[in-house]
């Protein structure tokens, strides 16, 4: 192959370049050129040349042996050898026979037209993306990995190509610089892409195809292909029985127009640049279309958490240069916390719920005390998101201010029997971890433990302020950026296991201690509320459940389907059609009235709602409660089926215990519409907030199977 610059071989190739046809070349339009040659074995060599004042240049290659046939590419010096070879640029072939009689070969000058000269100027460019990553509250997210992707899509599939990544600084700022080239050969472009079936594109395209039910749509595969459109492409010379390959890319535009005559029109898909509703030449896309993904070493799991995950719907088409963005994360990100400038103390939330929304605390209604969202459910409405006790493990947070002169914290509860403040039950306090970011450290995110300690006969845990003092380094915002706490657990006061308490309402207070320097505690003080001499106190109501078959009615068959608990309990003791009892697995005719006796109870009175449906056939179901009338078989029982409706029927907040009920449907045929095996599913749930989960985690299920209309 060609020798390196300065070497002399036996064979010489001169390739003159002529840019006189370009016209005047401005100062910002000057560029050096690269000439690449490749022999039959695929070995390449290149030379970079600069045009002289006469706008001419020449590239010389020397060979030790007869080179044979060669391919020649000309383009901008900013492109690499490989990029030139795979691009659509000036190319020519040197036939091997030209070397048969002479060791030196000078080609006719390669004329460079204005098209090529100005195309090369924008062919490979450097793009700059600058921005910030912030949490939903606007606080910066430091130490996050921000990656930008050029995204393309074809029909139902999308492909993302990472163009660059950067790490946010303490202010959440980042900058990504990347080089972007276009004009490659279609087959080369396709061969470099990784494809995936895209849910968003499926939904958008599927909605359009559904407008024409008679379309012959086939099976869709994981990789791009025309199998779904095979019925519409019977007369086309394109592969439909296999996924598309790189060599097929250039054929797609040829069938697009004919496909559009058979598919429903869609302005939306054309606007989203979805093929075949929009032309598809991605190898000529000289300005990237960008989405972002952001990951952060956040929380104690130790792995990376995805906090921004953009899709094709978020694409920024044809980005400007530079591009300025602000990326807002999900709630799972770890951001710099807000620091309260005042040094004072307020217990302000439980499970992230402000104490002003928990009954009996400052700013909240006095009753029901200790319940989240007291009085939020309007009597007579089908709702249950109010008057909610707490269960499982709960987090208790304070305001984000410093506690001055406090090294350790202890929680106490008020014992009404002795009218004194006493320690929490053994095991009620739980240790936890906080999180901070240290630029330059490996890894930069640290998770120091704050365990429960027994000191001077008290169970306490170290304050964040004490940890800072012991570290011996400056912390944000006082001492620069050597260390900065992140938002997870920044303001956490205590982490409690409520199962160590009985089910009732409790009053708590926080006590601060100082370290006595000898491994003990001194100077206890009940923390006072900001700007007052009033002791801090807060009220919570706990409701946990035991799961055990002991004490659970044997007839309820608890186990794999029905949970062995009374909180709540569900049961279907009897089903009657036309007055005749239909036991589980029995069959009956769907003639006459239908009666279903069922039980939904909670001894603590914290029911949220129940439902009763019938499922049958292939994914079919019926809401049975909507077809008939529910009556109470227990005295002084409200039928619901939601807490709000029970309040409208006479239940007294926060209590609804449920009871025995009967659903009556005038005609069983309205519930059982065809001969089949039916399964009755009775579900019930409690209002308890379990381990800070906002849904109804304490629930139960009863299933009852029968055949109707089956001979």
Q: What is the DSSP letter of 670?
A: H
In a shared domain, residues 404 and 485: yes
Please give the helix or strand (H or E) that residue 705 lies within, else none: strand 699-708
In a shared domain, residues 84 and 222: no
Those residues with Cβ within 8 angstroms of residue 4's Cβ, 6 or more apart along the chain or in another chain: none
| Residue where a domain stops, chosen among 507, 541, 575 | 541
In a shared domain, residues 383 and 475: yes
Number of other CB atoms surrounding residue 600 within 10 Å: 29
Asked if pLDDT for residue 502 goes beyond 90, the answer is yes
What integer pLDDT is reported at residue 192 of this predicted model? 86
Answer whether residue 188 is part of any domain: no
Q: What is the pLDDT of residues 99-126, one digit of tens each?
A: 877 889 999 999 999 999 888 888 888 9
Those residues with Cβ within 8 angstroms of residue 111's Cβ, 6 or more apart along the chain or in another chain: 18, 21
Q: What's the mean pLDDT in 92-98?
A: 88
In a shared domain, residues 210 and 129: no
Please give the helix or strand (H or E) that residue 187 lies within, else none: helix 186-191
Closest to 630 (Cα-Cα) out of 673, 599, 672, 590: 599
**What is the rounded average pLDDT for all residues in the chain?**
92
What integer pLDDT is reported at residue 146 of this predicted model? 97
Q: What's the mean pLDDT in 199-203?
A: 94
In a shared domain, residues 531 and 383: yes
> What residues pair up with 580 in beta bridges, in sequence order?
577
Q: Are 401 and 345 in contact (CB under 8 A)?
A: yes
> What residues pair up with 410 in beta bridges, in sequence order?
511
Q: What's the mean pLDDT in 639-658?
A: 97
Q: What is the pLDDT of residues 1-60, one digit of tens each?
A: 555 444 456 889 999 999 999 988 888 888 999 999 999 888 999 999 999 888 899 999
What integer pLDDT is reported at residue 300 of this predicted model? 58
In degrees to the nearest 10, what's the CA dihedral of 71, 77, 83, 88?
-70
Closest to 684 (Cα-Cα) out of 645, 658, 654, 662: 658
Answer whether residue 384 is part of any domain: yes
What integer pLDDT is reported at residue 299 of this predicted model? 72
Q: What is the DSSP letter of 489?
A: T
Instruction: Kindly write down the DSSP assignment for every residue of 206-267, as one continuous string.
Output: HHHHTT-TT-------SS-BSGGGGGG-TTSSS--SSB--GGGGGGHHHHHHHHHTTSPP-H
Asked if pLDDT for residue 353 goes beyond 90, the answer is yes
What share of the chain has pLDDT > 90, as a percent? 70
Q: What's the mean pLDDT in 616-637?
A: 95
Answer whether residue 22 is part of any domain: yes
Answer whether residue 339 is part of any domain: no
| Residue where a domain stops, chosen among 328, 356, 384 | 328
Q: CA-to-CA distance for 458 and 358, rounded, in angstroms?
A: 28
In a shared domain, residues 639 and 654: yes
Confidence of residue 479 (pLDDT cuts 50, 70, 90): low
Asked if pLDDT for residue 532 goes beyond 90, the answer is no
In a shared domain, residues 564 and 425: no
- Give me the domain span that covers residue 582: 554-708
Answer whether residue 525 is part of any domain: yes
Q: What's the mean pLDDT in 389-402?
A: 94
Strand extents, DSSP E, 90-181: 90-94, 104-106, 110-111, 124-134, 144-154, 157-167, 173-181
In a shared domain, residues 278 and 303: no
Q: Phi and psi dihedrals of 556, rounded to 5?
A: -85, -5
What integer pLDDT is reported at residue 9 of this predicted model? 67
Q: Are 476 and 336 in contact (CB under 8 A)?
A: yes
Q: What is the pLDDT of residues 580-607, one digit of tens each?
A: 999 999 999 989 999 999 999 999 999 9
| Residue where a domain stops, chosen among 77, 112, 147 | 112
Q: CA-to-CA distance for 342 and 285, rounded, in angstroms?
A: 54
In a shared domain, residues 165 and 294: yes
What share of the chain has pLDDT > 70, as a percent? 98
Those residues with Cβ within 8 angstroms of residue 295's Cβ, 6 or more apart along the chain or in another chain: 144, 145, 147, 304, 305, 306, 307
What integer pLDDT is reported at residue 6 of this predicted model? 42
Confidence of residue 302 (pLDDT cuts 50, 70, 90): low
Closest to 123 (Cα-Cα) out of 203, 181, 196: 181
What integer pLDDT is reported at residue 214 of this predicted model? 82
Q: CA-to-CA distance for 93 and 74, rounded, in angstroms?
A: 12
pLDDT, greater one: 170 or 197? 197
What integer pLDDT is reported at residue 525 of this predicted model? 93
Q: What's the mean pLDDT in 618-641?
A: 95
| Model pTM score | 0.78
* Cα 275 → chain centroid: 27
Within 13 A of 310's CA, how many CA atoms are on the CB side?
22
Q: What is the pLDDT of residues 445-474, one digit of tens each?
A: 889 999 999 999 999 999 999 999 998 888
In a shared domain, residues 671 and 686: yes
Instruction: Read off the CATH number of the domain in which 150 is found.
Output: 2.60.40.10
| Per-residue CA distances from 297 to 309, 440, 465, 619 (Å) | 15, 14, 23, 41
Q: CA-to-CA distance for 184 and 189, rounded, in angstroms?
A: 6
Q: Please, what is the end-to-end C-alpha distance for the chain in angstroms?
A: 87
Number of structural domains the chain divides into = 5
Q: CA-to-CA distance for 179 and 163, rounded, in angstroms?
A: 8
In a shared domain, residues 699 and 558: yes
What integer pLDDT is reported at residue 5 of this predicted model? 41
Answer whether residue 679 is part of any domain: yes
In a shared domain, residues 170 and 290: yes
Answer whether residue 509 is part of any domain: yes
What integer pLDDT is reported at residue 3 of this predicted model? 52
Q: What's the mean pLDDT in 49-73?
A: 91
N residues, the chain: 711
Answer whether residue 363 is part of any domain: yes
What are the structure tokens assigned to 210, written together? 């559904």
Q: Are 431 and 495 in contact (CB under 8 A)?
A: yes
């Amino acid at each position: 192959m060609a020798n390196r610059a300065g070497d002399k071989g036996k064979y010489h190739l001169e390739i003159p370049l002529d840019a006189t046809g370009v016209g005047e070349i401005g100062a910002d339009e000057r560029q050096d050129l690269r000439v690449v040659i490749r022999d039959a074995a695929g070995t390449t060599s290149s030379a970079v040349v600069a045009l002289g004042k006469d706008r001419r240049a020449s590239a010389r290659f020397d060979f030790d042996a007869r080179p044979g046939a060669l391919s020649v590419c000309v383009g901008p010096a900013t492109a690499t050898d490989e990029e030139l070879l795979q691009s659509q640029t000036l190319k020519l072939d040197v036939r091997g026979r030209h070397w048969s009689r002479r060791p030196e070969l000078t080609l006719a000058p390669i004329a460079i037209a204005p098209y090529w000269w100005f195309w090369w100027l924008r062919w490979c460019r450097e793009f700059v993306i600058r921005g910030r990553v912030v949490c939903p509250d606007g606080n910066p997210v430091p130490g996050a990995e921000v990656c930008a992707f050029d995204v393309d899509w074809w029909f139902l599939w999308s492909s993302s190509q990472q163009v660059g990544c950067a790490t946010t600084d303490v202010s959440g700022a980042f900058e990504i610089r990347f080089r972007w080239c276009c004009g490659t050969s279609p087959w080369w472009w396709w061969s470099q892409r990784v494809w995936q079936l895209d849910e968003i594109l499926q939904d958008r395209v599927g909605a359009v195809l559904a407008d024409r039910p008679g379309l012959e749509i086939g099976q869709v595969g994981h990789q791009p292909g025309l199998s779904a459109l095979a019925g519409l492409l019977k007369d086309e010379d394109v592969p439909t029985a296999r996924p598309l390959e790189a060599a097929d890319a250039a054929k797609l535009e040829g069938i697009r127009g004919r496909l559009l005559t058979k598919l429903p029109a869609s302005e939306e898909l054309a606007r989203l640049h979805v093929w075949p509703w929009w032309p598809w030449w991605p190898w000529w896309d000289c300005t990237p279309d960008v989405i972002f993904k952001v990951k952060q070493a956040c929380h104690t799991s130790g792995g990376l958490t995805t906090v921004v995950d953009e899709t094709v719907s978020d694409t920024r088409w044809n980005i400007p240069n530079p591009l300025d963005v602000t990326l807002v994360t999900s709630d799972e990100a770890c951001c710099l916390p807000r620091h309260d400038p005042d040094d004072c103390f307020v217990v302000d939330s439980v499970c992230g719920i402000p104490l002003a929304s928990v009954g009996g605390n400052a700013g909240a209604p006095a009753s029901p005390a200790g319940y989240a969202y007291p009085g939020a459910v309007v009597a007579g409405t089908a709702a249950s998101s109010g008057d909610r006790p707490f269960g499982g493990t709960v987090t208790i947070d304070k305001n984000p201010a410093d506690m001055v002169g406090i090294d350790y914290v202890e929680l106490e509860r008020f014992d009404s029997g002795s009218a004194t403040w006493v320690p929490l039950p053994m095991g009620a306090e739980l240790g936890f971890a906080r999180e901070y970011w240290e630029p330059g450290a490996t890894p930069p995110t640290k998770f120091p433990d704050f365990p429960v300690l027994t000191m001077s006969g008290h169970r306490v845990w170290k304050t964040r302020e004490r940890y800072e003092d012991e570290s011996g380094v400056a912390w944000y915002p006082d001492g620069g950026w050597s260390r900065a706490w992140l938002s997870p657990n920044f303001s956490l006061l205590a982490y409690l296991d409520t199962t160590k308490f009985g089910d009732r309402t409790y009053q708590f207070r926080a006590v601060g201690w100082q370290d006595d320097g000898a491994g003990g505690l001194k100077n206890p003080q009940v923390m006072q509320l900001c700007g007052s001499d009033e002791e801090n106190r807060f009220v919570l109501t706990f409701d946990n459940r035991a799961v055990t078959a002991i004490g659970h009615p044997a007839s309820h068959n608890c186990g794999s389907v029905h949970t062995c608990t009374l909180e709540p309990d569900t049961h279907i003791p009897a089903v009657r059609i036309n007055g005749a009892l239909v036991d589980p697995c029995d069959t009956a005719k769907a003639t006459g009235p239908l009666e279903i006796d069922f039980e939904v109870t909670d001894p603590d009175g914290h029911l949220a709602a129940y439902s009763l449906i019938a499922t049958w056939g292939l994914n079919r179901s019926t809401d049975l409660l909507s077809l008939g009338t529910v009556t109470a078989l227990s005295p002084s029982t409200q039928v619901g089926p939601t807490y709000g409706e029970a309040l409208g029927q006479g239940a007294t907040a926060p209590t609804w215990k449920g009871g025995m009920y009967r659903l009556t449907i005038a005609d069983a045929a309205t519930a059982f519409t065809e001969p089949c095996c039916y399964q009755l599913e009775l579900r019930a749930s409690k209002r308890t907030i379990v381990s800070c989960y906002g849904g109804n985690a304490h629930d139960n299920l009863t299933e009852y199977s029968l055949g109707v209309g089956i001979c």
